[in-house]
Structures are given as structure tokens and as C-alpha cells.
Amino acid sequence: MEYTLGSILPILLGPFLAFVVNIFIVKKWTKLGVFLSCFGMFVSLFYSFRIFKDFVFGKYSTGYYVHKVFPWFDLKAAGVSNFAVDMGIYLDNMSAVMLFMVAGCAFLIHIFSTYYMAGDARYGRFFVYLSLFTTGMLGLVLSDNLLSVFIFWELMGFCSYSLIGFYYEKEGAGNASMKAFMTTRIGDVFFLVGILAIWTTVGSVRFVDIYAAIADGSFNGLYAVGLPLATFAALSVFMGTIGKSAQFPLQVWLPDAMWGPTPCSALIHAATMVAAGVYLSLRMYPLMELGGITTFIAYIGAITAFGAATIALVQTDIKAVLAYSTISQLGYMVLGIGVGAYNAAFMHLITHAVFKACLFLAAGSVIHSLHDHHTHGHVQEMPRMGGLRKKMPLTFIAMLCCTFAIAGFPLFSGFVSKDRILGDALVMATQSKAYWIPAFLGFTAALLTAFYMFRMMFLTFFGEPRDKDLYDHTHVEKLSWNRNLPLLILTVFTLGGWYSGHFFGGWVKIPGVEHKEWFATLIEKPRVENFKAYKSLPFGSVDTGADRVFEESQFNPDKYFTEKEAHHVHLVHAIGAWASIAIALAGWFIAFMMYSRGAWNPGRWVNAFSGWYRALQNKYYFDDLYVKGILQKGLLPFNNLLSRFDMGVFDRYAVDGWEAVNRFFYRIAKWVDDVIVDSVGVDGTGASVRFFNVILRTFQNGKIQFYFIIFLVVMVGYIWKLV
Amino acid sequence: MNETVVTFFSGSHPYQVVTELLTRYLGFNATGLLTVVTFFVACFVIVNVMALVGGLGTYAERKISADMQMRQGPNRVGPFGILQFLADGVKMIMKEDIVPKDSDKMIFFIAPILCMAGVFATLAVLPFSSGFTLTHLNIGVFYLLGVSSVVGVGIFLGGYSSNSKWSMIGGMRGASQIISYEVPVTLSIIAMVLLGGGLNFKDIVGAQGGLPHQWFIFHNPFTVISFIVFFIGALAETNRAPFDLPEAESELVSGYHTEFTGMRFAFFALAEYVEVFVLCGVAVALYLGGYQVPFELSDTFLLHNKIGLPLGPARILGQLLEVGGFVSKTCALYYVVIWIRWTLPRLRVDQLMTLCWKYLTPIALINLVGVAFWVYYFDGESMWNLIFKSGAAAAGGH
Amino acid sequence: MITLSSYLAISFLLFVCGIAVMIARKNIIAILLGVELILNSCAINFVAYTRFVNNNLDGHIMSLFIIIIAAAEAAVGLAIVIRFFQIRESIHIDDATQLLQ
Amino acid sequence: MFDNFLFISSAALTVCGALAVVLSPNLMHACTYLLTSLIGVSGLYVTLSADFLAATQLVVYVGGVVILMLFAIMLTGGNDNKSVNKFGIEKIAPMGNIKTFTLAGLSALLMALVISKIIVNVTKAVPKGELPPFSSTVEKIGELLITDHVLAFEISSVLLLGALIGAALIARPRKIES
């Protein structure tokens, strides 16, 4: 395939043009605007799939990439020699897979939104935001440097803010959007600082340049704020991930983000935007490694995974459960980065995006069909549900498959990805004692995940309906293209075989189908040495890859290990896998006993751990800590002090004193202006002009005969002189 | 440098004898004196004859119109009423000379004279014959155009000086009509000058022949159009129907000469009739072969040597034949003018100007280019010559 | 005896008369009459010099152009006068002292 | 002798006409006197053997310019008796008063002084013996016009066209919006 602008840019331009056009037309021609958004998304999906197909089925090489660059601005002409910024497109296997996932999820969620948002007062506006958001996410994936990543990152932040506050007439939604925006900004500031730190060292923010600089050792021996520069930069960039991916301690915004419409939660707060933070960390993985913060990352991830999972145990709102589950799963990804499971972390990003989007859409389907006739609102509370599998069987099937996937049941995608992370964590734990705690927390969180997910399933779909009135008013689900089809398509992709290459773990062979561990083969850590001799092309050029030869990669997970190490790793992985299966089943069993059979009463547990229960209900008091502790005790007095200084000292003495000085000089200047300039200069000029004017006016009186006489006199004078 | 009537006479034997006698008798060279006297006599004759012609023009007009309207016309004074114009003249002289109170006296006096002078000055170059013409001026056509434009001034001043609305409007109409129609007329004349090869009437007439196929009107297709344009323009310049707007009696009482009485009115009337005659003569000279007589009968050599007449009478006879040819053609055209007057209705002012500026002027311009093209391409040969030549060539001749 | 001087004298008189008319009259058309007189005096000079000094007829050509220009001047000038009269209802020269209205 | 007679009469016509133009208190009369003066100039051309110019003078001035002048006088004079226009200015401008004529006389005197200073030299010059005989100038002028002076000829045609269009455009009455 030829990589021209025409084959890459439509991915970005499809949703972007839909956004631009929709701004103007969507209010008047809503249906056309919505169709345009979906069509733009479809264009994007089509081109993404072409790239995905070429990278995965065509080239099939770890080293293959496409890099196109154009100079954005260059201040050489202004005399600044080293201030030039290039923008460009960077495509490698990771981008290709990510593009296809983003475009696919976004397309299906667009389709679902036409069901979910239909009839809403701001139906059209929602699609405007969706298109803009998708543009931002696809742009981020296509970016070749941190600066454009940051631009699209902020664009997504804005869309997230707008969509969380979509129902702005509700007070909670407005506050939640503010909270989300402000919290992520903390991370973004650090991210920007990290970009600047990298900039000052490397002189460029392109990924490839950073990799090459790492390989050159440019980061060695440089220090910033008492830390080695690599560590500082890596920490700063990772702070961006913490903010965007809602990691501990900035996880507080994501549960509140559930104020937004459910499809937006599915797209932004489950599948793509929050995953963008992890994506960034994966891109910057060599820097993290160089900075030596992987252990820190692992701890952050494990704490997040475990903490969020515990909070999810006690939530009764179906979307809140999913929100905490998202934080927890993101924690797994970060844990995977921390333990060096690069491939597994990215795979979990993809699988999680698929099943979590599906879960959210299913939840949306449930919420949308449960209509409370007293409050005229949708019902999200699980205690009022129950037995819904008879009313909406298709949604039930989709949700069940996704639950299996997230709980890590065999054959499903969650098992393939999450348990590789856990396996790698276990391997690290066997090598270093520092990793025991993350590994343990990871496995415990897996148990909790299975439990709370099945708790949600049992409360929602099984048993007897607890709110009979609500249940009776709910319509029986019929197969519809925009409600069930996206769900079912996503459900299909919760099967693990799509990612691992074999649907039954390699034990059962399907004849005629070649089993390839394509994901594990193609996605691997950036080898920084390779980037010393990378090659980028001008933006408008055509890249067929013909000038560079890439060998087809072979699957060999052990190529970086010795034989003994490999044996050890395999053994630990096997143990991890079996442990995972056991844990998942255990979680299911506990939930089954508690909520389906009713054999174990959950109330007893609550009474027994009432202090913990209250802590979980209040999300470990993080919100209170931030608001009462940091903001009210810390920042507010400090601000008061500053304002007092500003008013009392600076305003009174500096500003007013300067004013007095100015007033003095003003009096002098006014006198000079009035007397000298105005009277003598201006009026004097006017008077002199008027004086000459009087003389000249007598000559130029418009009387042609007078002119003629003057002319005659002058002519006579000339002739008299000459003759 | 120009041939004049004196040139013609000085070639004859009696004139030389008289010159010698006078010189001997008076004691100084009498050539100049005799020249002046001869000119004076010639002018006297021509002016009086033309005045007669103008008078006869009124008679002819009345008689012909009567004929067309199945009336008798003047028939009491003299045979067929032919002396009517003399009676009219006497009446004019006897009438009271009324000058309006608020009129501009000086101009009221000048205006008829200007009209009269302009018309009669054109007679100086009108080619009655090759000899009996006052002068064959080398810029004859141009001179004629210039002098005849004085008539416009006269009409205008006459209209102005009367201090009457009818006169004023008539005078303005007349002046604007004359200077407008001068354009197509001049352009048509220039086409003929191109063919004739000079501004001199003698050159132009000499380039033609006595028989119709030798006339310029049938020289080539463009000249026919040229003649039509010229004739229409001439009608308008002389304020003849259907262009008699300056004196439109149904609108303006009598136009620019409403307030004129007696001989002043007679001057205007005379000027008009003589001008018609002059322009008919010009048309004859330019288009209809002028004074040329068929088969060159007027040639002195032919009359003297072949027929055997003595030289003097032969010359006189030749000239008389030429004058006869010229006058007869002119009178025929004169008849056509009167005929048109009593046949066609009058135009409106805007139609008059439209006809001039939108039709006649462009046609005349294109026509001029066409004639120039003909002169350049066919070397000035007439179309009959070309037809004959091609016929001869087809028959095998050279 | 007719010499060059006699023509020059006539031309001179004509010229002086023209100037007098141009200065003395307050009527725009009268001023144009003066202009015509001046132009004619010049034309006479050209022709007279052609006749008495050299015989190459260039003076005639010059006079011809003077006549042409006089005609053009008269046409445009009188058009302006008439337009001016339509606007100001006057042909007084001192009425035409302003560029606007 | 005839030449002298013609010259004297033409000169008298010219000069008297010009003086009458200066002194006439009536514009229409002045214009008529101008006509006589122009005819006199035409006669002077004839005495100078400029036959073509004489005829041109007649055609252009008598047939064109003077009639135009008369038209302009007529159109601007008006027939109504109001002597004052809407701006409070006399409609028919005065043909001059003592002040203006004094000024004009002084100016003319000044010019006369200077020009006579020039002419004196000319009169002192020795007159040429024999003048060439009269001959037709039409052909020569025609040749000169399309050879030596062809550029001026063409330019003058453009000038005349411009004057024609310009005059028509300027004098065309415009519709007054009201």
C-alpha cells in the first residue's frame, strides 16, 4: 500500500470536516448533521482499516513504520537558530492497531448514540462534540511528537469537559465537568513541564528523536530540581498519564465524569481518552526505563487497581461500578508498564477498550429502557433492577460476555491480556522483592473485579425484579440496528482469540486457520538503537516502503531470555494463569452465593467492616481530603495572604506611589503642552498659515480673467527680457 | 491659375481686338479693366438669369402642384399665367416693409442679405458649361460647401431677429437641420471627388461623359447610393418637403420668415428657390454628367472641322449646347424636387435627426469607403467598362 | 505694396482685440469669441510667413490644425457653457469661481 | 491692383469686425461681427494664395463655429424676462463696463508694446524680391498631411472625435431626480 496524504489524512479529516460542517448546519438540519458525523466516522474507519490491514496482514514486521514530516514553524529567519518545530505523522504497528480500535469503537458508539441520544434537546450538539473528540483522539494517535500530542490531548480534555457538563442544567454535571477539567490540568501542567525538559535536552520533541537521544546517552548526567533529567522528564510525563488515565492520586474525577451521557462515557471515559494516558506512557516507555521509575509506576498502578476495585464493591449505581472498574483496569495497564509487560499492557488497553465500551453501551441500553414515571428520569440504581434478562436478552448476552472478559475467564480477551500482566508481575516479583506488593495487589484486585462484576450482573439481570412497577413498564427489547448491533459487534471482539491468535488456547486447532500470535509479535518495546538511523519523508511524499527492506517477524517470546530464564518465565506464567482462573472462579462463586443464592448475606459483611464500608462509600475520603484539606486549609489561606500583600503593600505603595510620581510629571508635561506646544507651535502655525492664506487667496479667486491678466503680465515680462 | 469666363472670351478674336482698341484709346493696358468689366457683365447676367429662374421656380411649383391636384394653377397673367411671378415680384416691392417693434433691427436687416449672398456666391462655381462658367475654381466643390453654409447663418439670424416664437423655433430648426445634413452631403460629395480626381467641377464633369452609362451615378453600385444620400441631404439642406420643418406652415405659421414682409421675404424666397436650383445643378454636375453633351456634339473641333462652322460661332454653339444639356438635366431634377414636395408628408423633428445621424451619415461613411475601395481595386473603371471587358474576354478578345 | 508687415499688423490688431475681448467681457460666450479672434490672428501669421518667408506650406498645415483645434474648442467650450447654464442659470464669468457647484 | 483691392477690403473687414466685436454692447451683434471678421480672414488667406485654407475657414467657422456660438447664445440667453437667476446673479452677463474695459485697454496696450517691439525687427528686414505666383495648394497640403504630418493628422482626428463625444456628453441634459 502506498502511504500518501490521501491515504492517511482522511482518517483525521473525516470527523474534522463533519465537525466543521456540523457547527453550522446541525441546529437546522439535525438528521443530516448526524448522518454526516456517522459518515465521517465511517470514512475514518475505512481508511484506518486499510492501514491496519496493511500493517498487520501485509507488512507483518516489528520494524516497519511510516514517518512524514513537514516544518510547522522555523524561527531561523527571526534569528533564533534552534527553534524549529516539525509536525508529522508517525505510523507503526502500535499506531495502526490503536487507530483501528479508536475508529471502530468511535464508529460503533456513534451508531449507538443515534439510538441513545435520539429525542434529546441537544441531540445535534452531542454529535458535534463527538466528532471533535474523535478528531482529537485520532490526531493524537497519528502524531509524531509530544507537542502535537499535547495539543490533541488538550482538545480531548475540552471535549471531555463539554460532554461531562452536557446536561449543564443539572448542578452536579456542571461541577463534575469543572472537577474533571481542573484535576486533569494538574497532570497536564506536569506533562508540559516534561515536554519542555525534553525539549531543552534533545532540541526536538519527536518520538524518534527522543529515542535516538536516549540511545545516544544525551540524558546522562543532566539534572533538574535535584533529580537526574531522565527521571524528572519521565516523572513529569507520567504525571500527565496519572491525570488523564485517572491514576492514584488524581483518580477522583473519573467517577464524577459519569454525569455525561452514557455513550460519551463509553467513548471517552472508557475506551479512548483515558487510554490515551497509557498510550503516552507506552510511547515514552524507553524514557521511563531510563529514568528508573518503573517500580514507582508499578506501585501506582497496583494501588489504583486495588483501591478502585475495593470502592467498586459497594457502589449501587451501575455506571459508578463501571467507572471504578475502568480506573481499576487502567491501573492494571499502568501496572503492566511498571512491570515491563509492554505488549500485555497495550493489549489490555485494546481489549479493555472493546469490552468496557461494550459494557458501557450495554449499561446505557439498560438505563435508557428503564424509565421512572414518577421522576421522569432514567434509572441507574441497581437495587431497583433485577430480572432484566427476560426483558432484554440481547443486552444481557453482550453484558455477560463482557463480564466474563473483564473477570478474566478463559477464552475471553480479559484473560489473555490481564493475566499476561499479572504473569509478568509475578515474574518480576520472583526477581525483585519490591514487586511482591504490586503483584499481590494485582491478584487481589482480580478477585475483587470478578466479584463486583458478577455482583452487578446478578443484581441487574438475575433474580426477581425488585421494583415491580419499573419492571412492568419496561419494554421487551427488539433487535434494532443502532441499539443492539454495536453491542453485538463489540461482543464478538471480547473473544480472546482475536488477540492471541488461537481461540482455545492452542489446545484445539481449527483446521485451515493459521494461528499467529500477531499481537505479541508485532507490538514490542521500541528498540532505541534502531532509531539512530531512522528515516523520515517529506509530508506530501509517497511512501511505499519499497526502499526499506523489512523481514517478516517471527513469534519468539524468548528471544531476549536465556534458556534458563525462559524456563523460569514459562513456569511462573503458567502458575499465574492457573491462579487467575481460580481467582476469577472464586470471585464468581462469592458473588453467586451472595447475590444469586442469597446464601451469604452481604449485610453481615457490611456490619462487620462498618468502618471500612463507610470509607469505601466515601471513596477513601479523597474528595474530602482535596477539598477540605488541600483547598480550604492550604490554598485558601495562602491566597488570602497573597491578596492581602497585593492590596496592602503592592497597591498602596508601589501602584499609588507610582501614580503620584506620574501625576507630578503630568503637571509639568501639561504646562509644556499647553503653553509651548499648543500656543506657540500649533496656534502659531495656524496663524502663519492663515496669514499666507490671505495673500494667496487674493490671487486664487477663481476669476479666469484675473488669471489671464497675471499670465499676460508674466509673459510680457519674459518676452521683454528675452527679445 | 483658374479658368474663368474671361479665359474663354480672351481666347476669341473680337475680345483681343477690343482689348487693343481700348488700350490704344485709353492710353494704358486695358486688360485688367476689360477683365473687370467682363466679370461684372457675366455676374450681372448670371444673377439676373438666376433671379428669373427663381421666379420661374415659384411659377413652376404652383403650376406643377396644381397639375398634381387637378387644378388650373395661375392662368391669368400672360400665356398660361407665366408672368404671374413678375406680378408677384411687383407686389412684393410695393408692399409695406414692416419691422417688428422689439426686433433686432440690424440683424433683421442683415439676415435676408446673408441668405441671398450665400446662395448667389455659389453661382460663381456652378458649371453651366465648360466656358460660360464664372470660374472653374480649383477648390470649387469645397468653396461651394463653405459658401452655402452662410445660408444657415442667415436663416438662424432671421429667426432670431424677428423676436417671435415661431420664427425663433423655425430658425433653430433650420440651422440645426442644415449643419446636420451637411455631414452626409459632404461625405457623398467626397466620394464623387474621389472618382473625379479633384475638387474642381471641371475635373469632375470632365471625368464623365454625355451618355448615361458614362455618368458617375451609374459608375458603380456605391455611387447610386451616394446619389440617393446626396439628394435626400440636398432636400433637407434647402428646407424642401418632406424636410420643410423650419417653415412648417401647420406648426410655425411660416417659420423663420414669419415676420418678414416685402422684399425681405422675397429675398428669402428667392434664396430658397435659387438654392434648390443650385443644388440640383451640383447634383447634375457630380452625378449626371454635368454639361456633357452626348456624342461630344459640343466639341469645337467637331463643329469647326467636321461640320464646317467658323471658329467663333462653333465655340459659342458648343457652349450653348452644353448649357442646354446642363439646364435641361437640372430642370428635370427640379421637377423631381417639386414632385416630392407635393407627394410626401412632412417628417417630425426627431425623425429628421434620426434619419440624418443614424441612417444617412453611417451609410454615407460606409459608401465612401466602398467608393475608395472601388477606385483602388478596379483602378477607377466603371462597372460597364468591367462588364464589357469581361464580356470581350469571354468572347476571346483581349 | 502688400508686405509681410501689413499681414502682421492685421494679425496684431486681431490679437489685441481678442485679448481686449477676453478681459473686458463678463460673458463666457463673449470670451470664447475673443479666443476665436486670437486663434485666427495666429493662423494669419503662419500663413503670412509661409507666403513671404518660405514656401514649404508647413504654415498652412499649422493653420489647418489651428482651425481644427478651434472647432474642437468651440464645441467642447460651448457644451460646457450650456451645461453650466443649466446648473447655475447664468453665464457670468465671475459666477464660475468655485470648483464645486 | 485687384490683389491690393482684395487685400484692403479683406483687411478692413477683418479689423473692423474685430473692433466691432470688442466694442459691441450686444452679444448677438458681436457674434455677427465675428462672422464678418472671419470672412475677412478668409479673404486674407485668398490674398496669401492659401485657397484651401480659405475654403476651410469658411466651412468650419461660418458653417460650424459661428452657428454653434449663436446656438449657445440663444440657449443661454433665454426668452423669459427674469434677469436674475435663482442664485441672485444676473442671467445675461454684462458685456463689460468702464472698469473692465480700462483693464482690457491697459492689457492690450501692454501686449501691443511688447509685440510691436518684436515686429519692429521684422519690418526692418529686407523684403524678398519676387513672390511666387499663385498656385493650387490642395494637392500639396494633401500630400503633406499624409506624409510629413500624418501623426498630427491622425491625432487631430482623435481630438475631434473626443471633442464630439465630450461635447455630446457634457451638454446632454441629465434627468433631475425629484
Residue with the larger pLDDT of the pair B389 and B283: B283
Specify the DSSP element, H or E, that contains A80: none
Sort out which chain B residues have CB atoms less than 8 A from D52's CB and list them. 139, 142
Beta pairing, strands A371-372 & A227-228 = unpaired
**Confidence band of C49 (pLDDT split at 50, 70, 90):** confident
A699 interfacial to chain C (CB closer than 8 Å): no
The answer to whether residue B82 sits within a structural domain is no
> B with C: 3 or more CB pairs under 8 Å?
no
Q: Which among D30, D58, D66 has a CA at the least distance from the CA of D42?
A: D58
Specify the number of domains making up chain B. 1
86-125 in chain D: CB under 8 A from chain C = 86-87, 89-96, 100-101, 103-105, 107-108, 111-112, 115-116, 119, 122-123
Inter-chain Cβ pairs, chain B and chain D, closer than 8 A: 80
pTM of the model as a whole: 0.53
pLDDT of residue D107: 83
- At A647-674, the pLDDT tens digits run 888 888 888 888 999 999 999 999 998 8
d(CA B377, CA B385): 14
Question: How do residues A515-565 score in pLDDT, each as one tens digit?
Answer: 677 888 888 888 888 888 777 788 878 877 676 767 777 777 666 777 777
**Strand, coil or helix: what is B38?**
helix
Over residues B134-146, the mean pLDDT reads 85
CA distance D106 to chain A (A): 10
Burial of A277 (C-beta count, 10 Å sphere; 0-12/13-18/19+): buried
Give B100 to chain D, closest Cα distance, Å: 16
The more confident residue out of B388 and A141 is: A141
Q: Do D114 and A716 touch (CB under 8 A)?
A: yes
Those residues whose C-beta lies under 8 Å from the C-beta of residue A476, and which sit 6 or more positions away, are: A390, A391, A392
Asked which of A490, A524, A558 is the last residue of a domain, the reply is A524
Q: Would you state the pLDDT for residue D128?
A: 67
Contact D110 A716 (CB under 8 A): yes
**Which domain, by its residues, includes A632?**
624-698
Cα(B201)–Cα(B373) distance, integer angstroms? 22
Inter-chain residue contact D123 with C32, CB threshold 8 Å: no
Nearest to D53 among C27, C64, C78 (CB): C64
Burial level of A378, CB count in 10 A (0-12/13-18/19+)?
Answer: middle
For chain D, 178 residues long, the average pLDDT of each consecutive 10-residue run is: 83 89 83 88 87 86 83 69 56 70 82 80 71 79 86 89 86 66
Q: Which residues pair with A495 in a beta bridge?
A: A412
Domain enclosing residue B181, as ranges:
100-394
Phi first, then psi, for residue A381 (nearest 5°) are: -80, 125
Q: Would the pLDDT of B189 be above 60?
A: yes
C residues 41-80 closer than 8 Å to D (CB): 43-44, 47-48, 50-53, 55, 57-58, 60-61, 63-65, 67-76, 78-80
Q: Mean pLDDT over residues A476-496, rounded?
A: 86
The minimal CB distance from D119 to the residues C12, C52, C64 is found for C12
Q: D-side interface with A, Cβ within 8 Å?
A: 100, 103, 107, 110-111, 113-114, 117-118
Can you tell me the distance from the alpha carbon of A50 to that of A300, in angstroms, rounded to the nearest whole number? 37
Which of B199, A390, A141, B236 lies closest to D136, judged by CA?
B199
Give how far C23 is from chain A: nearest CA, Å.
Answer: 6
> What is the reported pLDDT for A326?
92
pLDDT at residue number B80: 82
pLDDT-wise least confident of A510-524, B131-145, C74-88:
A510-524
Kindly report, residue by residue over A74-117, the tens digit of the pLDDT: 776 666 666 677 888 998 889 999 999 999 999 999 999 998 88
Q: Do D110 and A720 touch (CB under 8 A)?
A: no
Strand A66-74 and strand A537-538: the pairing is parallel
Predicted local confidence at residue D178, as pLDDT: 52
What is the ipTM metric for this complex? 0.74
> How many Å apart are CA A250 and CA B345, to the nearest integer?
109
Does any domain span residue C41? Answer: yes
Neighbouring chains of B at 3+ CB pairs under 8 Å are D
Percent of chain B with pLDDT over 90: 3
pLDDT value at position A79?
A: 66
For residue B142, give the C-alpha cell: 469645397
Q: Which residues of chain C make contact with D149, given a CB cutoff of 8 A?
A: 58, 61
Confidence of residue B252 (pLDDT cuts 50, 70, 90): confident
Closest CB to B104: pick one of D28, D51, D64. Answer: D28
Please give the pLDDT value at position A340: 85
Considering only CB atoms, B139 lies closest to which of D70, D133, D138, namely D138
Touching pair C, A by Cβ (3+ pairs < 8 Å)? yes
Q: What is the pLDDT of residue B253?
A: 78
Q: Do C31 and A702 touch (CB under 8 A)?
A: no
Q: How many domains would you assign to chain C?
A: 1
Q: What residues of C are in the A interface, CB distance below 8 Å?
A: 19, 22-23, 31, 93-94, 96-99
Please give the Cα distance from A15 to B248 (Å, whole number): 86
Nearest to A110 by CA among A168, A25, A45, A173: A45
Asked if residue A597 belongs to a domain, the reply is no
Which of D7, D90, D170, D176 is the best mutation test for C, with the most CBs of C within 10 A? D170
Asked which of A504, A524, A544 is the last residue of a domain, the reply is A524
Q: Distance from C101 to chain D by nearest Cα, in Å?
A: 11
Q: What is the pLDDT of residues A698-715, one digit of tens each?
A: 877 777 888 888 888 888
Amino acid at A110: H
Q: Is D91 on the interface with B (CB under 8 A)?
A: no
Q: How far apart are the C-alpha atoms of B219 and B213, rounded to whole Å? A: 7
Question: A138 with A103: CB under 8 angstroms?
Answer: yes
Residue A3's identity, in one-letter code, is Y
Residue D116 neighbours by CB under 8 Å, 6+ apart: C12
Q: Are B188 and B363 in contact (CB under 8 A)?
A: no
Contact residues on chain A for C94, CB-CB shorter than 8 A = 703
Which pLDDT does position D79 carry in this prediction? 46
Total of domains in chain A: 2
pLDDT at position D57, please? 87
Indicate the residue of D32, D63, D70 with minimum beta-carbon distance to B149.
D63
Q: Are D170 and C79 inside 8 Å of each other by CB?
A: yes
Is there a domain that residue A70 lies in?
no
Residue range A409-419: average pLDDT? 86
Domain limits for position C57: 4-95
* Distance separating alpha carbons of residues A27 and A634, to the nearest angstrom: 46
- Put simply, the chain A residues between 646 and 705 with a CB less than 8 A from any chain D CB are 705
Give the fold, CATH level 3, of D1-79: Four Helix Bundle (Hemerythrin (Met), subunit A) (1.20.120)
Task: Flag whether C64 is in a domain.
Answer: yes
Q: Is residue C101 one of the residues assigned to a domain? A: no
Q: Are residues A504 and A640 in the same domain?
A: no
Q: Other C-beta atoms within 10 Å of A248: how many?
A: 22
Helices A704-722 and D98-124 pack at an angle, to 10 degrees, of 30
- CATH 1.20.120.1200 maps onto chain D at 1-79
CB-based contact, D41 to chain C, within 8 Å: yes
Is D135 close to B199, i.e. CB distance below 8 A? no
User: According to the model, what pLDDT value does residue A328 have?
Assistant: 92
Q: From chain C, pick out residues whose CB is under 8 angstroms from the CB of D3.
A: 2
Q: Which chains touch C (3 or more CB pairs under 8 A)?
A: A, D
The 10 Å Cβ neighbour count of residue B197 is 13
Q: How many residues does chain B have?
A: 398
**If interface means Cβ-Cβ distance under 8 Å, which residues of chain B face chain D?**
1, 32, 36, 104, 106-107, 110, 137-139, 142-143, 145-147, 149-150, 152-153, 156-157, 160, 165, 168, 172, 175-176, 179, 182, 199
- Measured CA to CA, the distance from residue A125 to residue A134 in angstroms comes to 14
In a domain, B18, yes or no: no
Contact across the interface for A709 and C93, Cβ inside 8 Å: no
C95–chain A nearest CA distance, Å: 9
CB C11 within 8 A of CB C42: yes
Are C31 and A701 in contact (CB < 8 Å)?
A: no
Report chain C residues whose CB lies below 8 A from the CB of D136: none
Cβ D110–A723 below 8 Å, yes or no?
Answer: no
The most confident of A74-88, B147-161, B290-304, by mean pLDDT: B147-161
pLDDT at residue A149 in the model: 92
- In this structure, what CATH number is given to the domain that contains residue C49? 1.10.287.3510
Q: Judge whether A87 lies within some domain.
A: no
Question: What phi and psi values does residue A145 have, to the nearest 5 degrees?
Answer: -145, 165
CB contact (8 A) between residue D52 and residue B107 = no
The residue count of chain D comes to 178
Averaged pLDDT, B328-341:
89
DSSP-derived pairing of the beta strands A377-378 and A371-372: antiparallel
Cβ <8 Å between D111 and A723? no
Q: Would you call D28 and B160 a contact, using CB atoms and an 8 Å cutoff?
A: yes
pLDDT in tens, A32-68: 999 999 999 999 999 999 899 888 888 888 888 888 8
Of C43, C71, C86, the CB nearest to D173: C86
Distance CA D171, CA D17 (A): 30
Q: Which residue has the higher pLDDT, A513 or A49?
A: A49
Q: Does the residue B47 lie in any domain?
A: no
- Residue located via cell numbers 412632412: B346
Q: Do C89 and D85 touch (CB under 8 A)?
A: yes
Q: Do C24 and D50 touch (CB under 8 A)?
A: no
Question: Minimal CA–CA distance to A354: which of A479, A495, A484?
Answer: A495
Do A709 and D103 count as a contact with CB atoms less than 8 A apart? yes
Across residues A579-599, what is the average pLDDT?
Answer: 86
